[in-house]
Amino acid sequence: MAPLYLALYQPDIPQNAGSLMRLSACLGITLEIIEPAGFTLSDRALKRAGMDYIELADVVRHLSWDTFLSAVRARGSRLILLTAHSPVSYTEFDFFPGDTLLVGRESAGAPAEVHAAADARLKIAQRSHTRSLNVAQAAAMVVGEALRQTKGFPA
């Protein structure tokens, strides 16, 4: 089992996915992309953002939400949704090795069925007059905390 899984729910922006592929490669976590995505893996913007790290990243594509959720449940991983719609801050949560962190679409977040399937929903505290952080920045913040807690950073 990977030290941590990071999943992108139907991502819209190839630059964010590329950036998170680079994060995956550097930190040794598995990146899961839940289709349909708003781009192909051959997209130039994706390749430019991921640079030469794309080949080093452990990327798993799931054709649908249902196939992704089945894979998460089969490996016994907790599904942790990062959302602005939660009272619980990620800094107040106890992460476990093998957790799956999930971020929603840049344009629409995560639908009700995704919220309902999550074992936990976490937010990043931010100023009240702002809507949300960039999905790649938010994911990186929470991945860092989860790896710190679980001692999952590469040696």
Report the CATH number at residue 18.
3.40.1280.10
The answer to the question of residue 77 being in a domain is: yes
Give the pLDDT confidence of 32-83 residue by residue, as tens digits. Answer: 999 999 877 775 766 665 567 778 889 899 999 999 999 999 999 999 999 9
Helices 14-27, 135-150: inter-axial angle, 10-degree rounding? 20
The answer to the question of residue 122 being in a domain is: yes
- Residue 2, pLDDT > 70, answer yes
Q: What are phi and psi of 140, to 5 degrees?
A: -60, -40
Q: If pLDDT is split at 50, 70 and 90, which confidence band does 6 have?
A: very high
Domain count across the chain = 1
The answer to the question of residue 56 being in a domain is: yes
The answer to the question of residue 155 being in a domain is: no
Quote the pLDDT of residue 120: 98
The answer to the question of residue 109 being in a domain is: yes
Domain containing 35: what range?
Answer: 5-150
Q: What is the DSSP letter of 105?
A: B
Give the pLDDT confidence of 113-128 residue by residue, as tens digits. Answer: 999 999 999 999 999 8
